[in-house]
Chain A
């Protein structure tokens, strides 16, 4: 029982964080808040990859004499790329939010929808 809990705890937390991010994206009407939620969702995926790559009793994948067991370096390589791409998408999203603020005078989704409906 305890073994199962420890063996799956990381995945459960990843699911919890992912769902927290998804919840923020869905339920909050503020666009900046939505982007923060998207960020949380994204880093939950990163955490999942890194958790999968971890090997018990192993060390970081930097070759040292006398050490034979290393964690899986491949997820690290993939996530390294993904983090930087994530920042690029966030910056584009924030630029869109700033532009919306200029055009509508608000960054609340419901107010923007109202204005569009009134037009």
Chain B
């Protein structure tokens, strides 16, 4: 049963990805990306990664979609057809060929007899660290009197007790991204849909959001 669900969900994901590649309406593409994220979250539940599924559903399907919608509001809702027909054809077929070759090479690699099959308990990834973490958690939970680390969820235990530096790095990345976004968009300024640029004066390095705003109002 789980196998069938897995097969079906992954096939749906492939179809959604294909639909995203096809559509020219950016709103549709964003919504399809949200559906894609939700399907990913469902597959994660199926593959026993419940914490990851929660995060993917909240962050991938929720926040990312909102971010994309905000960006669409400030830019365009429709992707334009390409001007240069020949160049577009060349680009499409060229990238299709490249992607097909790369995909074929990757599939060929999975056919290696050493490649562990899906769900194989003897796979190298299942050795070393993971059993230690699991045994540690089981030992902690098995105690008569709960201690400070009485946490049944092994992912939480591992994240908090062993891989705290990951989270520190994550916080640094998010902070940097936040600072970057603020510097790019100038926090708090009211933004309007800008028109095409007028000339070189308004696009120089000293161009602030105020200037581009007045340029947009004039258009």
Contact = CB atoms under 8 A, between A and B. Distances in A.
Contact of B37 (A4, A17, A43): A43
Contact of A81 (B137, B152, B170, B184): B170
Nearest to B84: A110
A118 to B, nearest CB: 11
B117 A63 contact: no
A116 to B, nearest CB: 11
A32 B100 CA distance: 24
Interface in B109-123: 110-111, 115-121, 123
Nearest to B9: A13
A43 B49 CA distance: 14
Given A15-B103, A84-B55, A88-B174, 6 more contacts: A6-B3, A16-B103, A24-B20, A32-B29, A46-B56, A62-B154
Listed residue (B47, B80, B130, B173) with the most chain A CB atoms within 10 angstroms of its CB: B47
Interface string B1-44: 00100110011011001101100001001100100110010011
B185 A99 contact: yes
Nearest to B196: A105
Is chain B's binding surface mostly helix, strand, loop or mixed? Answer: helix
A86 B59 CA distance: 10
B159 A80 contact: yes
B129 interface: yes
A107 B203 CA distance: 15
Contact of A8 (B30, B76, B111, B137): B111
A78 B125 contact: no
Given A8-B115, A83-B56, A97-B71, A53 B184 contact: no
Given A52-B125, A87-B59, A102-B209, A43 B36 contact: yes
A36 B33 contact: yes
Contacts of A24: 20-21
Contacts of A8: 110-111, 115, 117-118
B102 A19 contact: yes
